[in-house]
Amino acid sequence: MLTLLKLLKDGRFHSGEDLGAALGVSRSAVWKQLQSLEAELNLPIHKVRGRGYQLAEPLYLLDAEDIAKRAPLLAWPIHISESVDSTNAEALRLIGAGHSAPFLVLAERQSAGRGRRGRKWVSPFAQNIYYSLVLRIEGGLRQLEGLSLAVGLAVMQALRDLGVDRAGLKWPNDVLVDGKKIAGILLELVGDPADICHVVLGIGINVNMQDVAGVDQQWTSVQLEIGGAVNRNVLVAQLGVQLQRYLNSHQEFGFVALQEEWELNHLWQGRSVSLVAGVNQIHGQVLGIDSRGALRLSVAGVEKTYSGGELSLRLRDDS
C-alpha cells in the first residue's frame, strides 16, 4: 500500500489504469488497495469517473535523504517506520538491541502514542511529527537538569521558524498557541542517571492535522495556524537544527544559561495556577523557574519550588 500511496501523495488525479501499470497489478487490485488505504489509514480518497483517484489532501511522507539534505550538519542516523506503537518505545527497543546513540526514530503513525502522566497521544497517519531522539548522557544528574525545558525551547523556535509566531511554553513540557496545545515532550531514561544512561527525547507536534476525534484538550496544528500544509521533512530538519543548538548550550553551560530565555517565553508567567499532584492541588502564582528547571510558585505569600514528572499545571478560573 505504501507504494500506491507514494504515487498518490501529490494530491493530483491518477487513473486506475496508470496506477495499475505502475504497480504491475490489475485495476481491480488497485481498487482493493485504495479501499484498504481509506479503511486502515483513514485517508479520504476522491473517486471521479473519467479522471481517476485523488487524495483529499497532498501528503508529505517522511524521507531520511530529504531531511539530511535540509540539515547536512546533523549526523544522527534516522530510523523511519510506517507504523509503531510509539517512537519512544521503538527507541528503547533499539537501545536494548545495542544501537549506538545518538540516533533518531520517526514514524508515519503511532498505534499507542503516549504523553506525560500516561495520557494518550492521538497519532493519525502522515499528518504530524512523532519524533524520538536518543542521547547518551555521561556526567551524572547535572546533564539532566532542565533538559526537557531546553527541548521545549528548541521545539518552540522550530515552530516559529515556520511562521507559528505565537508559539510559547507551558511548564513543564508543553508548547501552546493561544491556549491550545500544538506540541508535547516526553523524556524517558534507561540506565543509571547518576552515571551513564540513555535519554529518549520524545516530541509530538501537530503539523497538518485539521480534524480528529479522541483529543481530550484544546489543540491546534501548524497548518491551522499558518493556513497551509507543511512539508514535515522541513520541520524535522529545522527541529534537528534547533535541538542541536539548545542541547549544545545545555551540555556546555547547564540549564542556567537558558533559564532567562525560557521564562521570557513562558505563557503562564505571573498567572494564578493550580499545581496538581495526584489528588492534591496547590494554588499559587507563577514566579518562574529556578536554575534546574523547577517551578517557582508564590503560595500564600511564600516562595516554593516544585519539580517531578507527575506534576501538572492548570490555570485558575480567576486568572
Active site residue 27: no
pLDDT value of residue 200: 97
Fold topology of 268-315: SH3 type barrels. (2.30.30)
Active site residue 51: no
Q: Determine the distance from the C-alpha atom of residue 203 to the mean position of all C-alpha atoms in its chain, rounded to a whole number.
A: 3
Catalytic residue selected from 109, 116, 170, 232? 116
DSSP secondary structure letters along 57-111 = S------HHHHHHHSTT----EEEES-BS-HHHHHHHHHHTTPPSSEEEEES-BS
Pairing of the two strands 103-107 and 78-81: parallel
Catalytic residue selected from 181, 232, 271, 296? 181
Contacts of 118 (CB under 8 A, 6+ apart): none
* Model confidence band, residue 219 (pLDDT cutoffs 50, 70, 90): very high
Q: Determine the distance from the C-alpha atom of residue 130 to the mean position of all C-alpha atoms in its chain, rounded to a whole number.
A: 5
Task: Output phi, psi for 91, to 5 deg.
Answer: -60, -45
Domain 2-55 architecture: Orthogonal Bundle (1.10)
Active site residue 181: yes
Q: How far is CA 309 from CA 2, 86, 93, 118, 138, in A?
A: 38, 19, 22, 11, 21
Indicate the average pLDDT of the chain: 90
Joined together, the cell numbers standing for residue 7 give: 504515487
Distance CA 237, CA 65 (A): 11
Indicate where the chain has its CATH 3.30.930.10 domain(s): 64-263
Distance CA 235, CA 243 (A): 12
Indicate where the chain has its CATH 2.30.30.100 domain(s): 268-315
pLDDT value of residue 115: 56
Distance CA 155, CA 266 (A): 13
> To which residue does cell 523547577 refer?
294
Q: How far is CA 312 from CA 160, 192, 208, 219, 308, in A?
A: 25, 26, 27, 17, 9
pLDDT value of residue 319: 46
CATH 3.40.50.720 fits 64-263, yes or no: no
Nearest to 314 by CA among 225, 183, 218, 186: 218
pLDDT, tens digit, for every residue of 172-213? 999 999 999 999 999 999 988 888 899 999 999 999 998 776
Judge whether residue 116 has pLDDT over 60: no
Nearest to 144 by CA among 100, 103, 101, 193: 193
Strand partners, 302: 299
Distance CA 2, CA 36 (A): 11
Q: Known binding site for biotin: residues? A: 86-88, 110, 114-116, 181
pLDDT value of residue 12: 87
Distance CA 151, CA 174 (A): 10
Nearest to 178 by CA among 186, 167, 189: 167
Bond preceding residue 172 cis, omega within 30 of 0 = yes
Average pLDDT over residues 45-64: 87
Q: How far is CA 207 from CA 29, 192, 297, 316, in A?
A: 32, 35, 33, 29
Distance CA 32, CA 21 (A): 15
Residue 309: CB atoms within 10 Å: 12
Indicate where the chain has its CATH 1.10.10.10 domain(s): 2-55
Catalytic residue selected from 117, 119, 120, 314? 314
Higher-confidence residue of 309 and 60: namely: 60
pLDDT, tens digit, for every residue of 57-111? 788 899 999 999 999 999 899 999 999 999 999 999 999 999 999 999 999 999 8
Average pLDDT over residues 238-258: 96
pLDDT value of residue 138: 87
DSSP secondary structure letters along 155-181 = HHHHHHHTT-TTEEEETTTEEEETTEE
pLDDT, tens digit, for every residue of 130-163? 999 999 998 777 789 999 999 999 999 999 999 9
Strand partners, 167: 177
